Structure 1
Amino acid sequence: MSHWLQIVVATPAHSAIAGPLTYRSALLLRPGTLVRVPFGRREVLGVVWQVLPDSGGMPEASIRDIAGVLDGLAPLSSTWRRLVAFTAGYYQRSLGEVALAALPPQLRDLTTLQLTRRLKRTVVDTSHPQDTTDLIALSAQQACAIAEFDAETSEKQRPALLFGATGSGKTEVYLRAAAKVLEQDPEAQVLVMVPEINLTPQLQARFEARFAHLGRERVVPMHSGLTPAQRLKGWLAAHSGQARLVLGTRMAVFASMPNLRLLVVDEEHDPSYKQQEGARYSARDLAVYRARLETRDREHPHGACRVLLGSATPSLESWQATIVGRYQRLNMNERIGASPAGQPGGLPTVRRVDMNHQPKHCVIAPPLLAAIGERVARGEQSMIFLNRRGYAPVLACHDCDWKSDCPHCSAYRVFHKIDRTLRCHHCGFTERVPRACPSCGNIDIAPVGRGTERLEEHLAELLANVTRPDGGPVRIARIDADSTRLKGSLESQLASVHAGEVDVLVGTQMIAKGHDFRHITLVAAINTDSALFSSDFRAPERLFSLLMQAAGRAGRDAQRSAASEMWVQTFHPDHPLFEALKRHDYPDFAEQQLAERQAAGLSPFGFSALIRADAKTQEVAQGFLNAAAEAAQTQQLPGHAHVMAYPAVPMTIQRVANIERAQMLVESPSRKALQGFLAAWQPLLFETRRQAEFKSLVRWAIDVDPIAI
């Protein structure tokens, strides 16, 4: 007897195959079962999505048989499938693309026989549980936050936003919330998400120590930095329920966890939670949606699946949700062991340096340089933050105005002095630095502007006469994407900072988030003004968040917090953003920004999508978008009366790797209207793509709820 199955496979992006395909099986398989099926000339992994009563009118001879079943794996849950289906629909991608991308790469390549062998090697932990680590005493605010989170009535069970200052002990709240869930239900699972891979190891060590009593391999990581074998091992542990706690980056939101009871999203404001390739999903938003699905789809003996978002500078969307009551807000505005002599809550004093009154062309203001010298002399550490890696943004000839532009992109190649190269940070094109100007032959070509590499060198010159308490010279270290390329280099450099072997740490935003540097008492931000006047409406929010996070690296040791400082160099010291930063007043900053956004109909009061097109020429890219928008207007698609499509424009970096890029902004005051319009627009985009004049179009993509415009 034959059974007819709808099976989801990974289809090429923008192919006409968006949904499941029909296959035949001699066995009746449950939805969620993983199978191997023929697809074209290949055999690929598929997920059984639905069992059909018949062939659906298709000629039986044209329906192919499945190639095999991945025995030994329980089917993916209905909740997981609903999450995938929602993601594909909301973010306007194919079902198969999202479903298969959510599975570990090695699983997609294994045959049924290989998987059987792999499962036999899986060792189930039978070790004797270890003793629980001693719990630290909670602060009054931590205890209050935990009590309020637990007291949320079962009728509401709203998402909770833990609004906690840097150093206030948010991680301990996460640990306590997770511990309670795991103690209440011996099968319960917890998912904890962090924005950056480099934050995972230190957090993993802390969670493993706290939950060592559960046994080995109960806390597993899940991020793209793992090897394929490690990712598969972690996924299998989560899918089987063996892993009680999964710690991962945005991809972990799709982890198959059949007994998920708590989702924690640390630093929920971070842009890293938004995927920028393929299905451009927001892992934070999907975490909130998944918790709702988990609660709705099955009855938990100990209550609903909760979601706990945490940040010192929440996204304005989450903050507005607490204002209108959709989210519960938990406040922790004081650092652990805050000194009453310092700023309110033990936070560092913010000092604004008006660069209009400093020597012309100076990079480090004299007062700031003196403050750094004083810290070095006292045996304390300083951190200098500049969000631009490399030695200099551009190499230039002042005779003929030649600049080190990239031949493949509308951007400059960055000068990296350490290996004497010009490197494009967009397409990767790299060349050795020329001996003379390629245009006029002038040998006097010079760097313009500063990156972290040049800043490190400049600081060494400025601090040459400063000595440490032991009489030794100043030790300066740099941490950015260039200095941490080799495996293990980031960990070793961070260890040097923690051990006190570094006096001045220079780096990009990599060092501004999440790290617990106990000996840093001064943080300085260089070149902060560019975001103040950006065309991207989210730029001030990102700048304020980054500066607040950077400030949070200073004075984390309670004995030093009273003397900790955050220095900000700016030509606009009276800007409202810096006024709010000086007071560590996120609510005031949020109130200003929300008022501006409401007046302009921007998120969270309006909804938007970006349609991006890549082509050989800018004319084709823009022409495709404008033609598709005109077709949508002509056909009066659903929701068109409440949707505004602006004319196509070049992207900020309009050419990358010899591909021209354009974008079109689509806005609506109604999320429902926008979603209906985008869904109906997809077929028109396909039709427009097939027109002769757009043959050179390379690709197009829809970005729903974009974080950068």
Structure 2
Amino acid sequence: MTTRIAEVALAVPKRTTFEYLLGDSTPAIGARVQVPFGNRKLVGVVLAIKSDSNWPVEKLKPIQQILDDDAVLDTGLIKLLKWAAQYYQHPIGDVMQSALPVKLRQPNSSEMPQITQWQCSELGRETDAATLSRAPKQQALLLALQQSELTDSDIKQNYTTAIIKALEQKELIEAQLITPQSNLDWHTQLQVNIAPKPSLEQSLAITCISGTQHQFHPVLLEGVTGSGKTEVYLQAIEPVLKQQKQVLILVPEIGLTPQTVSRFRKRFNAPVGLLHSNLTDNERLAVWQQAREGELAIVIGTRSAIFTPFLSLGMIIVDEEHDNSYKQQDGFRYHARDLAVMRARFEQLPLVLGSATPSLESLHNALSAKYQHIELHNRAGNAQHAHQQLFDVKHQPMQFGIAVGMQQRMRAHLEQGNQVMVFINRRGYAPSLLCHDCGEVEMCQRCDKAYTYHKGLNKLQCHHCGDAKPAPQQCSACGSKQLVTQGVGTEQLEQGLSQLFPQYKSVRIDSDNIRSKSRFNQILDDINQRQYQILIGTQILAKGHHFPHVTMVLIVDVDGALFSMDFRAAENLAQLITQVSGRAGRAELAGEMWMQSHQPQHPLLQDLVQNGYQHFARYALDERRAAGLPPFSFQALFRAEAHNQATAHQFLHSVAELIAAQAHVLPLGPFPALMEKRQGRFRMQLLVQSQERGALQKALFVSMPQIEQLPLAAKVRWSLDVDPQDFY
């Protein structure tokens, strides 16, 4: 009898697969099995069935249990994941594990799970919601459930646990466990609601994208903010759905998904699945299974949704493709946009990458004809581009970080009944607390960085490691009680603007103030209902949101990134400025954007104001070409950290010697990370660069086994990041 052996990928820090003996049953390629590994039992994915082994057969252990009747990862996904493991130089088992929902990383059933669904009780159906008028949130939820049943995560997008609990205690609503019903014939019920007439630019884009079905055809849709890129997506996927194909749409932030889902559900009478980190494990598995069985027409999700299996995938769309949220920053450090490109290539699918501020990598691919390049220069409808202007704050009187001249502009817009957005990328009350007498700054000893002062909580917090302590009453160095803040954060801006404009309501949107999805969605609704006139926020507020009544945007401080050592800082700043500017003047009302700066003559700022992002990006590409930087070269970054700086440095020095022995690659370093100390550890980096992607990959592949055997490899925390996006 022929010996049969399964090659299994296990989530262990080894860059190999493992072999196990098969019994009478044969698992499918891509199915999960439970196997012994040392004194543990692990769940792995079968990658191959074979009859020979590099090991003596008598030393192989048998598989303990076959967990799935069918493959949970299809051949297309396995091909993508094998490529990703090789490209990102990451253990194959960990890569496979990353592609599975949490529930399937354990020996749980892969059948459709039960999820929690809320409905009105008999009493709730008979109750007049008007009786809850003194509790408007409870009233709104009761009305919603009187119209239809909702899942746990659907409710928690808009309502807090306290509101749900209150209605449950009144016996007006109740929860039940249900198994999501199959909807395999959604295409027969597909209805497309009337779409707005596209502009000429939009029509050309829709035609170009729609004419590329059933083939790999990457398109970069470069459309200015407010140009109607989402409408292009909607009309481009219509023929895909009509051919009974499914569509995957990636978005960078959870905060963008409710708006996007709402538009797609309104347009198509078809099931839309949502994948993001706020789902329960059962809900995520349910969406995963529904997509795999072909029960969902559209799946909208954040980064990890790229691993979703589909019965018949017909198109992939990556919205805001430039966003760094697509890059996984720990563990398996993949870039979801780049995996989307490879998945589309492997499965021969049309791919749309959309952005008002495309990454220089994608723009380079478009300008070199690797991608089709479609541009939308005009805003949808009658909306005009926001007029961008710089305000020189040198010698200007300032209050709460805002120049008096800017206060006058804000007042003019507010008096006309419009909304104003104030952007600053620093949360908290102030970035530092110092002694007015001796100059001592309260520092986080674990990170060598100043604590951020949070006045409302009366505490100091390190935004790098999370360490926090009560705000001191006196200086720790000299005992003086003359402690003053330095700099401005969102909390101080909120307080200051309330004093400067007491007749207008302001709202602060940052990660300190927005701790739940429901609160975030409620605030967005309140903004569009004009309950707030002044919006204060960080990047959360800048991305993709539509605020039709905002006519002025003020960026409090744009100078911070002008002199960064990170070569991508200028690109990131230009993208941020352009995206923030895009929040103004999105409807009939004209918009303007102001940037406060001590460096108004800086070439980057002048280029953006005078010529816009498109000109800046093309000029930046010329600079990158001259400097031999990505996308005209390829990089990998080794990071190492240790309690002793010399240990991390010595380890990376040894890595550099191994890398230097390879052809056509250049190791640069070791050098300290831009943030040299964090959480009590010193952080060093080694950059490896090459003009050829293949040469870099070969050098890493050859060197990694040797690096893992270095004596210091077990004494430092180290990692490899292929195509790094930052140097922090």
Q: Distance in 1 between matches of 2:604 and 2:659?
A: 40
What is the alpha-carbon distance in structure 2 between the residues aligned to residue 167 and residue 8 of structure 1? 45
| 2:100 is the alignment partner of 1:103 | yes
CA distance in 2, matches of 1:705, 1:582: 30
Match of 1:642 in 2: 664
> Are the aligned partners of 2:551 and 2:584 in contact in 1 as well (CA < 8 Å)?
yes
Q: Following the alignment from structure 2 to structure 1, what is the Cα–Cα distance between the partners of residues 113 and 542?
A: 44
Q: How does 1:150-165 map to 2 (within 5 A)?
A: 150-151=210-211, 157-165=216-224
Name the CA distance, whole Å, in 1 between partners of 2:452 and 2:400. 21
User: 1:449-598 maps to which residues of 2 (within 5 A)?
Assistant: 449-464=487-502, 473-557=503-587, 559-560=588-589, 563-583=590-610, 585-598=612-625
Q: Using the alignment, how far apart are the partners of 1:360 and 1:475 within structure 2?
A: 21
Q: Which runs of 5+ in 1 are unaligned?
A: 296-304, 340-345, 465-472
Partner of 1:467: none
Aligned: 1:169 with 2:228: yes
Whole-angstrom CA distance in 2 between matches of 1:394 and 1:227: 38
Q: In 1, Cα distance between the equivalents of 2:706 and 2:266?
A: 55
C-alpha separation between the residues in 1 aligned to 2:657 and 2:372?
Answer: 43
1:199 paired residue number:
256
2:374 equivalent to 1:330: yes
Q: TM-score, normalised by structure 1?
A: 0.90
**Matched position secondary structure for 2:36:** strand
Counterpart secondary structure, 2:669? coil
Give ranges in structure 2 of 5+ residues lacking alignment: 116-177
Question: Structure 1 97/315 Cα, relative in aligned 2: closer, same or farther at 3 Å?
Answer: same
Cα displacement string for residues 446-467 of structure 1 (whole angstroms, at most 9, x for unaligned residues) = 1111111111112222223xxx
Q: Which one is further off, 58-67 or 363-372?
A: 58-67
Which of the residues 78, 82, 87 maps onto 2:84?
Answer: 87
Find the counterpart in structure 2 of residue 599 from structure 1: 626
Shift of 1:118: 5.6
1:681 and 2:703 are equivalent in the alignment: yes
Structure 2 CA distance for aligned equivalents of residues 671 and 104 of structure 1 = 32
1:309 counterpart = 2:353: yes
Match of 1:51 among 49, 52, 57: 49
Task: Return the letter of the residue paired with 1:706.
Answer: P
Q: Percent identity?
A: 39
Alignment partners' CA distance in 1, 2:113 and 2:570: 53
- How big is the shift at 1:310? 0.4
Query: What residue number does 1:123 align with?
Result: 181
Amino acid at match of 2:706: L
Match of 1:301 in 2: none
**1:136 matched to 2:196:** yes
CA shift in 2, pair 1:254/1:157, >3 Å: closer
Q: Deviations over 1:127-151 (max 9, x none)?
A: 9947532222212211111112234
Provide Cα deviations, 1:80-101, integer angstroms capped at 9, x if missing partner: 0011011111111000111101
SS of the residue corresponding to residue 203 of structure 1 reads helix
Correspondence list, 1:615-654, <5 A: 615-633=642-660, 636=661, 640-654=662-676
Pick aligned residue for 1:408 from 435, 441, 446? 446
* 2:16 partner letter: A
CA deviation after TM superposition for structure 1 residue 153, in Å: 9.5
The amino acid of 2:394's aligned partner reads: N
For residues 488-519 of structure 1, give each alpha carbon's deviation from its aligned partner in whole angstroms, at most 9, with x where no partner exists: 22112112111100111000011011001111
Q: What are the superposed Cα offsets for residues 149-207 of structure 1, whole Å, 9 maximum, x if unpaired?
A: 234598x85310111111111001111112111112x2x11110011111111111111
Q: Structure 2 length normalisation: TM-score?
A: 0.87
Q: CA deviation at 1:367?
A: 2.1
Q: Which residue of 2 aligns with 1:220?
A: 273
Q: For 2:213 and 2:77, locate their aligned partners in 1 and report how far apart those are by CA, in whole Å.
A: 26
Partners in 1 of 2:233 and 2:650 — Cα distance? 50
* Structure 1 pair 265–435 and aligned structure 2 pair: CA distance change class (3 A): same
**Structure 1: how far apart are the matches of 2:555 and 2:675?**
25
The yes-or-no answer on 1:32 pairing with 2:59 is: no
* Partner SS state of residue 706, structure 1: coil
The 1-side partners of 2:333 and 2:621 are apart by 24
Count matched residues.
662
CA-based RMSD = 2.1
Q: How many angstroms does 1:331 deviate by? A: 1.2
Residue 424 of structure 2: which of 382, 386, 398 is its match? 386
Query: Alpha-carbon deviation of 1:683?
Result: 1.3
Counterpart for residue 148 of structure 1: 208
1: CA distance between counterparts of 2:199 and 2:446?
55
User: Relative to structure 1, is the Cα distance of residues 153 and 229 closer, same or farther in structure 2, using a 3 angstrom cutoff?
Assistant: closer
Report the 3-state secondary structure (helix = DSSP H, G, I; strand = E; otherwise coil) of the residue aligned with 2:22: strand
Partners of 2:416 and 2:114 in 1: CA distance: 56
Does the 8 Å contact 1:668/1:674 carry over to 2?
A: yes
Seen in structure 2, the aligned counterparts of structure 1 residues 370 and 601 have a Cα distance that, compared at 3 Å, is same
Contact 1:71 1:116 in 2 (8 A): no
Q: Distance in 1 between matches of 2:504 and 2:639?
A: 48
2:691 partner amino acid: P
Residues in 1 aligned to 2:581 and 2:234: alpha-carbon distance in whole angstroms: 24
Aligned 8 A contact 2:391 2:594 in 1 = yes
Amino acid at match of 1:27: S
**Secondary structure of residue in 1 paired with 2:450:** coil
Q: 1:278 aligns with which of 325, 328, 331?
A: 331
Change (3 A) 1:507 1:177: same
